[in-house]
Homo-oligomer: A and B are copies of this chain.
Amino acid sequence: MASIKDVAAEAGVSVATVSRVLNDHPSVSADARARVLAAVGTLGYRPNAVARSLRTDQTHTLGLVISDVMNPYFTELARSVEEEARALGYSVIIGNADERPDLQDHHVRNLLDRRIDGLLVSPTDGGSPLMLDAVRAGTPMVFVDRWIPGVEVPVVRADGEAAVRDLVAHLHGLGHRRLAIIAGPAATTTGQERVAAFRAALHAYGLDLPEDYIGQGDFQAESGRRVTEGFLDLATPPEVVFAADNLMALGALDAVRARGLRVPDDIALAAFDDIPWFVHTDPPITAIAQPTGELGRAAVRALVDRIEGRPPQSVTLPARLVVRRSCGETAPPERPAPPERPASPQPSPVTNRSQT
């Protein structure tokens, strides 16, 4: 592979001049520039990003450590992160933690070793020493979706509280009174917050959230199935199961169907995180939709701001309820090609200065 020296030789100039042309430094003569460019062309030269990074101490690479790539929510997040990063001149290396703290650490360490310019994390747990050290050492970092309380890092996330209230109102309106939740891991903020929001919303309706109506899941389909089976075994099973993420909702659907029961007739189902497939399940699933793409983009912007010396901003965007048929029939059936629906109001971002 041709190096800058080969180009210099071919063009009859020094490596310094070649470098200047490549980084379009102003003080290069038109003649030299042309010769260098020609040499680059004939040799098919491409600068070695590794060498460049070593010298400049920047890799123009962002690390994204995600809880679970197989979860469509995170897939979409990853996609929007990569898009925005690309637009800003950065590449992204994705690390999939699979909800395992040890894997998360593996990826953080790997990314740090590669000297990525900044780290986007959706933490699987309360924060390993490794990650905390990295923050302390000054690694630019931004939390996305989930975060770790007490750590001075900008957070980009969706606020589901209002949407959960809407959901409970919807369920209450349908006559449901016994509502259960499949919670996410208590170590994650989203795991906790969604339960808290749900409980608060229930209280507003004078309803309780008894202990056995809180199932402990781990954001994976299998746990949704297991927890739902537990609910169905209860002396008085709930009328509604609210899954704290889409995969657990899928598991719940499995469990219900395995008993020969039907949604929503025998038991209603709702989920946090909306995904395209929810339109096509039987029945279509009522869900709380996050502005996933916008979250990813905002997170990248915050991180790049931090990297490039501008003050990063924490961002909180509202989630919204999407009613379908899995909780009972009231909503008009969703029409794939709406004739002339009034434009749905864009959620206005709630933006705060970072606490940093």
Seen from chain A, the residues whose Cβ lies within 8 Å of a Cβ on chain B are: 1, 44, 46-51, 53-54, 59, 69-70, 72, 75-76, 78-79, 82, 86, 91, 93-94, 96, 106, 109-110, 112-115, 133, 137, 221, 250, 253-255, 257-258, 276-277, 279-283, 335-337
Contacts and interface: CB of A to CB of B under 8 A. Distances in A.
Nearest to A59: B50
A50 B112 CA distance: 11
A326 to B, nearest CB: 11
A318 to B, nearest CB: 24
Contacts of A93: 91, 93
B96 A48 contact: no
A168 to B, nearest CB: 25
A304 B280 CA distance: 40
Contacts of A49: 113-115
Contacts of A109: 46
Contacts of A59: 50
A112 B91 CA distance: 13
A53 B337 CA distance: 53
Nearest to A114: B49
B276 A221 contact: yes
Contacts of A47: 113
Contact of A113 (B46, B75, B94, B106): B46
A210 B41 CA distance: 49
A7 to B, nearest CB: 15
A113 B59 CA distance: 12
Contacts of A70: 72, 75-76, 79
A296 to B, nearest CB: 12
Given A1-B137, A54-B54, A282-B283, A337 B258 contact: yes
A96 B253 CA distance: 31
A255 B280 CA distance: 12
Nearest to A225: B336
A189 to B, nearest CB: 24
A54 B54 CA distance: 8
A105 B146 CA distance: 33
Nearest to A281: B280
A26 B75 CA distance: 45
Nearest to A76: B70
Contacts of A106: 86
Contacts of A51: 54
Contact of A79 (B76, B96, B115, B276): B96
Contacts of A50: 50, 53-54, 59, 114-115
29 contacts: A1-B137, A44-B133, A46-B113, A47-B113, A49-B113, A49-B114, A49-B115, A50-B115, A51-B54, A69-B79, A70-B72, A75-B75, A79-B96, A86-B106, A91-B93, A91-B110, A93-B93, A94-B94, A221-B276, A250-B276, A254-B279, A254-B280, A254-B336, A255-B336, A258-B336, A277-B277, A277-B280, A277-B281, A282-B283
